Structure 1
């Protein structure tokens, strides 16, 4: 596990502790790819549309639904993510903060 993943996990845990899960679930606002945080993390609603040259660690099998930060059920089309407080990410989406669900 590298430093970036540890920092992102810590940030996610802090957001969750501060009520990020409830806020994101209740809001139901779709995260737009043009959102500044989404842009900075390379978020795409469809993992197949990720620029693999820009994000060489991306794999087609990675998606938000399989990420530790995804706060929904595996069947949920969208769910909250503590990195995008108050916004819903697509189950089939991806960002550079992706961490395999344990």
Structure 2
């Protein structure tokens, strides 16, 4: 391999590691209420408790204004912003 080719490959590889996290999160699948962990935490997609929603929970991450948000409790899955689970805690 020539040094020039090596440098091109190195630059391309380094650039790929700089992909923004929000682009990766967009590929996460939506959490199903039928998921065993979701059932254990009593997750529902539409909260029945006033003022308690996934998008205002301390465990939520990402764009909290979006319809689906990331959640620290469900890695690699997104929960519905209007949802709720038994581990809900207010954002500080």
Same fold (TM over 0.5): yes
Residue correspondence of structure 1 range 1-102 to structure 2 within 5 A: 25-48=25-48, 59-102=49-92
Aligned length: 71
TM-score (norm 2): 0.69
Structure with bigger RCO (C-alpha 8 Å, 6+ apart): 1
Secondary structure of the corresponding residue to residue 45 of structure 1? coil
Query: For the Cα contact (< 8 Å) 1:43–1:96, is it kept in 2?
Result: yes
Larger mean CA deviation between 31-40 and 73-82 belongs to 73-82
Larger strand percent: 2
Structure-2 separation of matches of 1:63 and 1:38: 15
Instruction: Show structure 1 runs of 4+ deviating over 2 A.
Output: none
TM-score (norm 1): 0.62
TM-superposed CA distance for 1:81, in Å, is 0.7
Query: For the Cα contact (< 8 Å) 1:72–1:78, is it kept in 2?
Result: no
Secondary structure of the corresponding residue to residue 65 of structure 1? helix
Q: What stretches of structure 2 of length at least 5 have no aligned partner? A: 1-20
